[in-house]
A and B are shown apart, each in its own frame.
Chain A
Amino acid sequence: MVTPAKKRAVGRSKLQREQTLTFIAFTIPGFLMYCCFLIFPILMGIYYSFMDWNGISPSYDFIGLENYADLLTDRKYKAALLFNVRYTLLLIVGVVVISVILALMLNREIKGRSFFRTLYFAPAVLSMITISLIFKQIFFYVLPAIGQRLNIALLSSNVLADRDLAIYGVLFVHLWQGVALPTLLFLAGLQTIPQELYEAASIDGANAWQQFRAITVTYLLPTLSVVLVLVVKQGLMVFDYVKSMTQGGPGGATQSIALLIYNNGFERNKYSYSITQAIATGLIIAFISFIQIKYTSGKKVE
């Protein structure tokens, strides 16, 4: 005899089977796409990094770890790595300082706040290429014109053509566009702070700086870690700006890792070697972002 309870149990397991099958069907297209066009190319890359292929010739040989060994003594790679580290550190400082200040200002109750917000965010929707190309022309024609008229030696020639200054030119453009999103994130963070805290603190006699350190900074820490993840990734992999503004020049002064990999792989026919560089760099970056995310999610307080 079939009891109602048994019937329900049978019904449930049938339902469970139907659900599992549907869920598997839901997952298959994405899984295939991911395996074919993301995982498989990475495996291909690992394979080629043990070869000496130039990317064109029909045959190539297995050379073991030679590409990886070459990497250790490659001066260009080391220079690019140093460029990226320096660039990223400067970018972090610039983005965090500027966007926190902007967010604090945009958080004040002033007239025209939404106008400023709209304007300050506009650079974020344009492509990096458009921005770089506008600034490339400005660095080339406009700034020298201003510099000569005002007798500022620093500006009277093209900043991007100067070995020592080019990195700051690129950085300026990156900051011009790159502070937009962090500013909004910090602004959103500021709006989560209960105003009573400030009132209580000022009754207790804390001055503005003490209030900023004790309350504002504490509440902005979760946002800060999000911003750091974003900015570190951007800085270590910077490509669009240097590719379109300086081509890595002058004399390799702004050659970033991403650009070096691109040039080796597509322009200099060092196919296998450039993949080796990409894998080594990828491991470094994966390690850094893993640490960052682990540290962040462990610390986040709601």
Chain B
Amino acid sequence: MNASKRRGNVITYVFLTLGAVLILFPLYICIATTFKTSSESAVSFFTLPKSLYLGNYAEVLADEKLYYAYKNTILVTVLSLLAEMLIMPPMSYALSRSMGHSRLFRNLYYFFLLGIFLPWQVRMMPVVKLMGWLNLLSPSGIVLLYLAHATCESMFLYVGYLATVSNSLEEAAYIDGATTLQTYTRVILPLMRPILATVLIREGLAIWNDFQMPLVCLNRSHKLWTLTIYQNNFQSEYSVDYNLAFACLVVASLPIMIFYVVMQKQIIGGLTNGAVKG
């Protein structure tokens, strides 16, 4: 290794370490503070906790709102992803294989793409009215909104992916007398596995972490809150007691952190693929 390359590596290390400190510092403050009493953290934020004080966690975990928030977030995310997996891939398959020769399907594709360009704020207020009329201002109700939104984005990803899948396998299935539905479930769906994973991770994270839709649709009773709403409202209630506020943030983001540690490779892959194609 030559001298200039070694010097470059040293500089790289210095910068990357500084960056790592910048990322870890807020997280350290957040986690360390949760194990301190308020009088201890008033003396210093920066030291490690003297003893592992668990009172903050006990208080957060005793709050029933937390469990509603967990339940609702899981419900919304799981239902949305299930429905999306059921509806979007076959639709995208139909569009992908008919766009070439059918004007109807080509126009449908462009119609579905329209939604990508319009920001959510354009339909934010009417959506709340509409869902109110339909009595759907509930966690399972907003699943429909996430699905409508997924129509544009995930359809775009699926169709893009299917364009790269050669149709020789499905031709063979049709010649063997398979129906379109059989061909879809036995040939196409298995081939789509990588893009399904990408979309699941993208949509899953986006829905789990979403704040705006729950804020306008579910911020009435704490029984409807999702985790983001819960964190936001908890902090406005206990803003003075930052030990407690930090404990709430840690507890609420624990599932996603564990998920990241376990599924790191898939998550990074999914988000990178989705962004490049989307």
A residues sitting closer than 8 Å to B (CB atoms) are 15, 18-20, 22-24, 26-27, 29-31, 33-34, 36-42, 44-45, 48, 55, 101-102, 105-106, 108, 110, 116-130, 133-138, 140-142, 145, 176, 181, 184-185, 188, 223, 226, 230, 233, 236-237, 239-240, 243-244, 257-258, 261-262, 265-266, 271, 274-275, 278-279, 281-282, 285-286, 289-290
**B interface residues, how many (CB within 8 angstroms):** 88
B45 at the interface (CB under 8 A from A): yes
Binds A, one of B55-63, B119-127, B190-198: B119-127
- What 3 A-B pairs are tightest by C-beta distance, nearest first? A127-B209, A37-B148, A23-B94
A265 touches B211 (CB 8 A): no
Assuming the contacts A105-B16, A129-B211, A136-B235, asked whether A37 and B145 have C-beta atoms less than 8 A apart, the reply is yes
Considering the complex, which residues of chain B in the window 256-271 have a beta carbon less than 8 Å from any beta carbon of chain A? Answer: 256-257, 259-260, 264, 267-268, 271
Complex Cα gap A274–B267 (Å): 37
A23 touches B98 (CB 8 A): yes
B125 touches A265 (CB 8 A): yes
Chain A hits for B95, CB < 8 A: 27
Complex Cα gap A156–B138 (Å): 44
> Could you list some 22 contacts between A and B, CB below 8 A?
A18-B180, A23-B97, A23-B180, A26-B91, A30-B87, A36-B144, A38-B123, A44-B126, A120-B20, A122-B23, A125-B259, A125-B267, A127-B208, A127-B210, A127-B231, A130-B231, A188-B272, A230-B275, A243-B215, A266-B125, A271-B125, A290-B117
Assuming the contacts A34-B151, A127-B211, asked whether A134 and B121 have C-beta atoms less than 8 A apart, the reply is no
Min CB gap B79→A, angstroms = 13
**Quick one: CB contact mask for B113-145 with A, threshold 8 Å, 1 for yes?**
011111111111111011000000000000011
Complex Cα gap A41–B215 (Å): 18
Min CB gap B50→A, angstroms = 18
What would 15 more interface pairs be, CB under 8 Å, given A23-B93, A236-B119? A27-B105, A42-B118, A42-B123, A42-B126, A55-B125, A122-B23, A124-B271, A134-B246, A226-B275, A230-B275, A243-B215, A266-B125, A275-B126, A286-B119, A290-B117
